Amino acid sequence: MLIYLMWIEFDTEKTTLGRVPVGGLFTYNNKIWIMVNTLVGKGKRLVVNVGNGCRESFLLASSEEVCYIIEAKNIQEGTNGSH
């Protein structure tokens, strides 16, 4: 079996979810997520994880600490662990 891997280096900023713009990418619990929508007055954000198949979505407090992905700095592709 041939495995394709990608090594991606991101420019990130530790912040709270409330500071991530709608559509912004961030990491939380070792997954990459997208901020979908805000619930005005509720202090919560609708988020969905990035992936194929059945994607997990839920409401997360805007005060939750996350790592906002500002941009991808370097992307390298490889096979069987090489990058």
Per-residue pLDDT tens over the stretch 20-39: 999 999 999 999 999 999 88
- Tokens (6 digits) for 43: 């202090």
- Structural domains in the chain, sorted by start: 4-79 (2.30.30.30)
How far is Cα 18 from Cα 67, in angstroms, rounded to an integer?
Answer: 12
Of 55 and 43, more confident: 43
pLDDT for residue 80: 64
Q: How far is CA 76 from CA 9, 22, 32, 80, 83, in A?
A: 9, 28, 18, 13, 6
* Residue 56 pLDDT > 90: no
pTM over 0.95: no
For the chain, give the percent of residues with pLDDT over 90.
64
Query: For residue range 8-17, what is the model confidence (pLDDT) as tens digits?
Result: 999 999 999 9
Report d(CA 76, CA 82) in Å as an integer. 9
- Pick from 73, 72, 70: nearest CA to 15: 70
Give me the residue label for tokens 């592709």. Answer: 77
